[in-house]
């Protein structure tokens, strides 16, 4: 018989906020465990002090590091991982001996609590029960005496440890917010609130439900005085009259948001139309942006685009974001045109170059509607994905080349296949966008077969995955050895011409010169060879 493992939430600080069930389990525990910082008293133990039985065995699990600085070979993460393993072994010894173990957790055990790391290591081996507790933000909301979210407000809980630009974006894109894990992060959090236009309605609550509790507007807080036990609350839009800055989410929500906005095009005030910018953001890294892009984006009031691309635009006060799904390009373009037609300064953002399988074409297609005839459109170029992959590989598109998408969402596959044959027969280097996705796995297989009808199996192929972003990889292979199963939507392929070669240093390049030949050895007339 083994003991039972209990994860017990003791609430935010006031002992009277401990639940009856938590109190009963603590009072009857054989072993009471709790986490503590080095040289510090456990806050969870302090909250439950009057309930811990005198006969109980106490296990204080002392963190080896809390600031991120350590000489552990695995760094901060490695030091904590070892600590949690050792702590789990200590508690397991009691459980194996048949003792019931209660692990105290500040707030709620499953909400940013250290209990979770013990749960991961022990719950599958021992009978486990979790008792919820009042989280700190709930106590802070009561202390602030201000409704946090109501009706259809969306509440987002954010750790203050997020990168500042990411935090600002998320604050701008939600109705109500809770920011936790403050302390040293407070200055960056305050700047993020200001950039998101949320500082005015942000309330700071320190040590909620404790005797030292205090609250005040975030704008009045001295950054040097902020402890870890503090929370920032941003009340919901229905409370402060702020309209959501996001017109749609991903998928169906994005479609609905864009379509609704586009339907307003018949009722436009008399203000002159503003210039609509269509901006290429490049493949990913900020240092691949053209110099004009940040300057132009700094002057717009609205950013419209596919969610992940909108996320790449730094948040600032006064910027309204309109994110939508990946298959509503025309609705998205109409939304942007409607805003520009009303005199609003708008940028439509697109990955890579907006004119290469990007939003520029969708904008011009939507602008064919006569109601948009007065809206000027300007396209700002960006580094395209084919340029990025080619540069990583060397110079595979140094000569004549073609660019195609294997997606058949906007054109029949018969057209795609006919163009593949034409490019292969012309002996052009071919850059392939959208080679595969979760629902399109056969197109790349068919494309490989079609190309092999005209190209030697030893034709050089470059597979670039997530170039310029996290997880980047570059593979140089051949057309015959290419594994279609390894290709996905994150990939761009460059399929060489007959003259494309790989240098001794592994660089792929295509000569600029070619010599005419009368006939391809395998029967394709009119091709050329270097």
pLDDT for residue 234 is more than 50: yes
pLDDT for residue 252 is more than 80: no
Cα(385)–Cα(436) distance, integer angstroms? 15
Residue 371 DSSP one-character state: G
pLDDT in the model for residue 267: 52
Angle at 160 between CA 156 and CA 166, to 5 degrees: 70
The rounded percent of the chain whose pLDDT value lies above 70 is 90
Joined tokens for residue 211? 């005797």
E-only strand ranges, 123-275: 128-131, 155-159, 176-180, 202-206, 214-217, 230-234
Per-residue pLDDT reduced to its tens digit, 399-422? 999 999 999 888 999 999 999 999
Name the band, by pLDDT with cuts 50, 70 and 90, for residue 369. very high
Name the band, by pLDDT with cuts 50, 70 and 90, for residue 334. very high
Per-residue pLDDT reduced to its tens digit, 16-75? 999 999 999 999 999 999 999 988 899 999 999 999 999 999 999 999 987 767 888 888
**Selected residue with higher pLDDT from 243 and 139:** 139
**Selected residue with higher pLDDT from 466 and 1:** 466
pLDDT in the model for residue 483: 95
Tokens 């953001």 locate to 281
Residue 213 DSSP one-character state: -
Name the band, by pLDDT with cuts 50, 70 and 90, for residue 525. very low
pLDDT for residue 160 is more than 60: yes
The rounded percent of the chain whose pLDDT value lies above 90 is 74
Name the band, by pLDDT with cuts 50, 70 and 90, for residue 229. confident
Tokens 């298959």 locate to 327
pLDDT in the model for residue 270: 56
Domains and CATH numbers, the chain: 5-132 (3.40.1010.10), 138-240 (3.30.950.10), 252-380 (3.40.1010.10), 386-529 (3.30.950.10)
Q: What's the count of helices (H) and strands (E) in the chain, helices before strands?
A: 16, 25
> Residue range 198-210: average pLDDT?
93
pLDDT for residue 159 is more than 90: yes
Name the band, by pLDDT with cuts 50, 70 and 90, for residue 516. low
pLDDT in the model for residue 316: 87
pLDDT for residue 262 is more than 70: no
Contacts of residue 89, Cβ cutoff 8 Å, sequence gap at least 6 = none
Name the band, by pLDDT with cuts 50, 70 and 90, for residue 129. very high
pLDDT for residue 529 is more than 70: no
Model confidence pTM above 0.95: no
């Amino acid at each position: 018989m083994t003991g039972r493992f209990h994860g017990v939430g003791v609430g935010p600080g006031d002992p009277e906020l401990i639940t009856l069930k938590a109190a009963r389990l603590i009072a009857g525990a054989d072993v009471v465990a709790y986490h503590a910082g080095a040289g510090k008293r456990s806050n969870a133990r302090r909250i439950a002090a009057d309930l811990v039985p005198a006969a109980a065995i106490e296990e204080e699990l002392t963190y080896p590091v809390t600031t991120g600085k350590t000489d552990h070979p695995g760094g901060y993460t490695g030091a904590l991982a070892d600590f949690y393993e050792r702590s789990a072994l200590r508690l397991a010894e009691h459980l194996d001996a048949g003792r019931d173990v209660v692990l105290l957790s500040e707030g709620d055990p499953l909400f940013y609590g250290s209990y979770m790391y013990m749960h991961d290591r022990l719950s599958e081996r021992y009978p486990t029960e979790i008792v919820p507790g009042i989280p700190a933000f709930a106590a802070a909301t009561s202390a602030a005496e201000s409704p946090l979210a109501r009706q259809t407000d969306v509440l987002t809980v954010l750790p203050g440890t997020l990168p500042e630009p990411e935090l600002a974006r998320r604050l701008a894109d939600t109705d109500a917010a809770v920011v936790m894990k403050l302390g040293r992060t407070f200055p960056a959090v305050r700047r993020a609130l200001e950039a998101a236009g949320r500082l005015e309605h942000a309330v700071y609550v320190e040590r909620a439900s404790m005797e030292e509790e205090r609250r005040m507007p975030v704008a009045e807080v001295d950054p040097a005085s902020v402890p870890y036990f503090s929370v920032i609350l941003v009340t919901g839009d229905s409370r402060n009259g702020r309209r959501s800055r996001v017109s749609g989410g991903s998928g169906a929500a994005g479609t609905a948001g864009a379509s609704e906005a586009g339907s307003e095009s018949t009722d436009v005030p008399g203000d002159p139309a503003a210039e609509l910018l269509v901006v290429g953001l490049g493949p990913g890294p900020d240092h691949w942006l053209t110099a004009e892009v940040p300057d132009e984006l700094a002057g717009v009031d609205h950013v419209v685009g596919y969610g992940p691309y909108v996320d790449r635009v730094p948040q600032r006060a006064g910027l309204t974001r309109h994110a939508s799904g990946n298959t509503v390009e025309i609705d998205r373009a109409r939304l942007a045109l409607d805003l520009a037609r009303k005199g609003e300064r708008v940028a439509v953002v697109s990955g890579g170059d907006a004119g290469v399988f990007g939003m520029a074409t969708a904008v011009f297609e939507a602008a064919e509607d006569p109601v948009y005839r007065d809206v000027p459109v300007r396209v700002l170029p960006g580094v395209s994905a084919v340029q990025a992959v080619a540069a990583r590989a060397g110079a595979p598109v140094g000569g004549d080349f073609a660019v195609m998408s294997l997606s058949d969402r906007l054109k029949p596959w018969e057209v795609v296949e006919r163009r593949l044959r034409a490019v292969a027969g012309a002996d052009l280097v071919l850059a392939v966008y959208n080679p595969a996705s979760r629902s399109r796995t056969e197109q790349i297989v068919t494309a490989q077969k079609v190309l092999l009808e005209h190209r030697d199996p030893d034709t050089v192929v470059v597979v670039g995955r997530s170039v310029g972003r996290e997880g980047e990889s570059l593979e140089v292979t051949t057309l015959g050895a290419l594994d279609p199963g390894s290709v996905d939507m994150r990939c761009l392929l460059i399929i060489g011409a007959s003259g494309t070669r790989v240098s001794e240093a592994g660089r792929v390049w295509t000569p600029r010169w070619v010599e005419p030949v009368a006939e391809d050895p395998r029967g394709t007339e009119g091709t050329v060879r270097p």
